[in-house]
């Protein structure tokens, strides 16, 4: 153990929270080590997918670290992190419910990745969607391809493009909305 480092394994949650609040990353690492298996189980139960659960848990622990100064009672950390993970998983699950645009993109992923829109079958809906897809700005089109075709999580796409996750999510949302308007002209912008 290096000088000044603590062995946090025997520490109470309250002392770990306090130490983490004053900047000891080792203390927060111990909190993560203690609670990651439990909150992963909660997220996986809510989402039904291991990778999505890991994404929700990672996001929840990052948020918890940023919000840690707001936690006034360190003994409440387990309930607090549970609530954060549960809410992250619910939001992620709600976003992942497939919309008609999502299903159409996934069903026609081969055309999106390899064939220009003018070579696609004459199926009206698919043809319109693929033509609109080709009109998307490059940054949106690339994100849609990585998300749907390569099945990359948002965090990986953000890292790849050196963008904040919120920017990736916004571009993905904007692309979906544009494609949705193309398929259903009654949708208002």
Q: Say whether pTM exceeds 0.85.
A: no
Q: How do residues 31-69 score in pLDDT, each as one tens digit? A: 999 999 888 888 888 888 788 888 889 989 999 999 999
- Cβ(119)–Cβ(134) below 8 Å: no
CATH number (domain holding residue 105): 1.10.10.10
Residue ranges of alpha helices (H) inside the chain are 13-21, 25-47, 50-67, 77-96, 100-107, 109-114, 124-135, 138-144, 154-161, 165-183
pLDDT of residue 159 exceeding 60, the answer is yes
Do residues 109 and 76 both lie within one domain? no
Task: Give the model's pLDDT for residue 187.
Answer: 47
In the predicted model, what is the mean pLDDT of the chain?
Answer: 79
By mean pLDDT, which of 24-28, 31-35, 144-148, 167-171 is the weakest?
A: 144-148
What pLDDT is recorded for position 70?
93
Q: How many separate domains does the chain show? A: 2
What is the structure's pLDDT at 117? 43
End-to-end alpha-carbon separation of the chain, Å? 58
- Domain enclosing residue 138, as ranges: 100-183
Closest CA to 28 of 83, 81, 101: 81
Question: Looking at the structure, do residues 79 and 121 belong to the same domain, yes or no?
Answer: no
């Amino acid at each position: 153990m290096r000088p000044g480092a603590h062995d946090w394994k025997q520490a109470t949650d309250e002392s770990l929270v306090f130490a983490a609040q004053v900047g000891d990353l080792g203390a927060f690492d111990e909190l993560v080590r203690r609670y990651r298996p439990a909150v992963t189980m909660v997220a996986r139960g809510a989402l039904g997918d291991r990778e999505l659960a890991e994404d929700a848990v990672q996001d929840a622990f990052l948020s918890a670290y940023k919000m840690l100064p707001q936690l006034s009672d360190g003994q409440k950390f387990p309930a607090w992190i549970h609530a954060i993970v549960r809410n992250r998983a619910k939001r992620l699950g709600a976003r992942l419910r497939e919309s008609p645009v999502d299903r159409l993109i996934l069903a026609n992923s081969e055309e999106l990745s390899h064939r220009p829109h003018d070579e696609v079958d004459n199926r009206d809906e698919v043809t319109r969607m693929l033509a609109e897809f080709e009109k998307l700005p490059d940054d949106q089109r690339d994100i849609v391809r990585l998300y749907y075709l390569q099945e990359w999580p948002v965090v990986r796409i953000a890292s790849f493009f050196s963008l904040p996750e919120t920017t990736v999510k916004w571009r993905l949302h904007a692309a979906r909305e544009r494609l949705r308007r193309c398929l259903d002209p009654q949708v208002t912008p």
